[in-house]
A and B are shown apart, each in its own frame.
Chain A
Amino acid sequence: MKHTILFLVLSLLPLSMMAQSSISGQLRDENGEGLTGANIYLEGTYDGTTSNLEGQFLLETSETGEQLLRIEYIGFKGFQKALILDGKDRDLGDITLKEELNELTAVTITAGTFEAGDKKKSIALSSIDMVTTDGSSGDVYGALQALPGTTTVGESGRLFVKGGDSRESKTFIDGTLVYVPYSSSAPNTSVRGRFSPFMFSGMMFSTGGYSAEFGQALSSVLSLQTNAMPVEDQLNISLLTVGAELGGTKTWDKASVSTNLSYTNLTPYMKLVPQNTLWEKEPQMLSGDLSFRLKTGKSGLLKFYANVNRTSLTTIEESLNQPGTSFPYKLVNDNYFLNASWTGELRKNWILTTGFSYTNNLDRAAIDSIKFQEALQGTHAKVMLKHRISDRIKILAGTEWYSKSFGIEIPGSETGSKASYLNNTLTGFLESEIYASSRFITRAGLRFEYSDYLKRSSLAPRISTAYKLGKAGQVSLAYGWFFQDPDDAYLLYSPELEFERADHYTLNYLFNQDNRMLRTELYYKNYKNLVRYGWGDEQGYSFVNNTGDGYAYGLDLFWRDKKSIKNGEYWISYSFIESQRDYLDFPEQAIPSFSSRHNLSLVYKHWFEGLRSMLGTSYHYSSPRVYNDPNSQQFNGEITKPYHSLNMNWSLLLKQNVILYFTVSNILGYEQDYGRSYAAMPGPDGVYNSKAILPGAKRWILVGCFITLSKDKSINQLDKIN
Chain B
Amino acid sequence: MKKITLFVFAMLIATVLMAGDEKYYQKMGETLSGFSSCSSVEDFQNLANKFRVIANVEKEEWLPLYYEAHCYAMISFMGDLSAEEKDSYLEKASKLIEGMEELAPNEAEVQVMKALYYTGSLVVNPPQRAMNTTPLIHAAIAKALALDPNNPRATFLRISNEMGTASYFGEDIAPFCTQAKDLLQNWDSYELKSPIHPNWGKEDVEGIVNSCAK
Residues of A within 8 A of B (CB): 1, 4-5, 8-9, 12, 14, 37, 39, 41, 43-48, 50, 70, 72, 74, 104, 118, 120, 126, 128, 201, 230-232, 514-515, 607, 612, 614, 655-656, 710, 712-714, 717-718, 720-721
Q: When the two chains form their complex, are residues A231 and B136 in contact, meaning their CB atoms are under 8 A apart? A: yes
Which one, B12, B53, B128, B132, contacts A39 given CB within 8 A? Answer: B53
Q: When the two chains form their complex, are residues A614 and B127 in contact, meaning their CB atoms are under 8 A apart? A: yes
Q: Does B191 contact A (CB under 8 A)?
A: no
Q: When the two chains form their complex, are residues A232 and B127 in contact, meaning their CB atoms are under 8 A apart? A: no
Q: Does B29 contact A (CB under 8 A)?
A: no
Q: When the two chains form their complex, are residues B49 and A37 in contact, meaning their CB atoms are under 8 A apart? A: yes
Chain B window 112-128, contacts with chain A (Cβ cutoff 8 Å), 1 for yes, 0 for no: 00000000000000011
Q: Does B38 contact A (CB under 8 A)?
A: no
Kindly provide the distance from the CB of A560 to the nearest chain B CB, expressed in whole angstroms: 13
Contacts of A655 in B (CB 8 A): 169
Contacts of B139 in A (CB 8 A): 231-232, 713
Complex Cα distance A633/B92, Å?
Answer: 69
Q: A1-B1, A714-B138 are in contact. Are A50 and B145 (CB under 8 A)?
A: no
Main secondary structure of the interface of B (DSSP, over half): helix
Give residues of chain B (15-64) contacting chain A, Cβ–Cβ below 8 Å.
16, 19, 23, 27, 42, 45-46, 49-50, 52-54, 56-57
Q: When the two chains form their complex, are residues A39 and B142 in contact, meaning their CB atoms are under 8 A apart? A: no
Complex Cα distance A514/B57, Å?
Answer: 39
Which one, B12, B132, B149, contacts A9 given CB within 8 A? Answer: B12
Which one, A41, A126, A713, contacts B146 given CB within 8 A? Answer: A713
Complex Cα distance A515/B83, Å?
Answer: 9
Listed A/B pairs (21) with beta-carbon separation below 8 Å: A1-B1, A8-B5, A8-B9, A12-B16, A37-B45, A39-B53, A41-B56, A46-B27, A46-B53, A47-B53, A128-B127, A128-B128, A514-B82, A515-B83, A713-B139, A713-B143, A714-B146, A714-B158, A717-B149, A720-B149, A721-B149
Kindly provide the distance from the CB of B185 to the nearest chain A CB, expressed in whole angstroms: 15
Q: Does B84 contact A (CB under 8 A)?
A: yes
Complex Cα distance A120/B169, Å?
Answer: 29
Contacts of A721 in B (CB 8 A): 149-150
Complex Cα distance A607/B127, Å?
Answer: 8
Contacts of A72 in B (CB 8 A): 52
Complex Cα distance A612/B127, Å?
Answer: 10
Smallest Cβ-Cβ distance to A711: which chain B residue:
B142
Q: Does B210 contact A (CB under 8 A)?
A: no
Q: A5-B8, A104-B88, A713-B146 are in contact. Are A45 and B1 (CB under 8 A)?
A: no
Which one, A43, A104, A712, contacts B142 given CB within 8 A? Answer: A712
Which one, A12, A120, A514, A717, contacts B145 given CB within 8 A? Answer: A717
Q: A712-B138, A717-B142, A717-B149 are in contact. Are A48 and B16 (CB under 8 A)?
A: no
Q: When the two chains form their complex, are residues A41 and B135 in contact, meaning their CB atoms are under 8 A apart? A: no
Which one, B1, B19, B135, contacts A710 given CB within 8 A? Answer: B135
Q: When the two chains form their complex, are residues B49 and A39 in contact, meaning their CB atoms are under 8 A apart? A: yes
Contacts of B84 in A (CB 8 A): 120
Complex Cα distance A1/B2, Å?
Answer: 10
Complex Cα distance A33/B135, Å?
Answer: 43
Smallest Cβ-Cβ distance to B53: which chain A residue:
A48
Complex Cα distance A50/B71, Å?
Answer: 15
Smallest Cβ-Cβ distance to B9: which chain A residue:
A8
Q: When the two chains form their complex, are residues A48 and B49 in contact, meaning their CB atoms are under 8 A apart? A: yes
Chain B window 59-81, contacts with chain A (Cβ cutoff 8 Å), 1 for yes, 0 for no: 00000000000000000000000
Q: Does B87 contact A (CB under 8 A)?
A: yes
Q: When the two chains form their complex, are residues A44 and B57 in contact, meaning their CB atoms are under 8 A apart? A: yes
Contacts of A612 in B (CB 8 A): 168-169
Kindly provide the distance from the CB of B116 to the nearest chain A CB, expressed in whole angstroms: 16
Q: Does B180 contact A (CB under 8 A)?
A: no
Complex Cα distance A663/B47, Å?
Answer: 51
Q: When the two chains form their complex, are residues B83 and A50 in contact, meaning their CB atoms are under 8 A apart? A: no
Smallest Cβ-Cβ distance to A514: which chain B residue:
B82
Q: Does B106 contact A (CB under 8 A)?
A: no
Complex Cα distance A420/B131, Å?
Answer: 46
Complex Cα distance A4/B84, Å?
Answer: 65
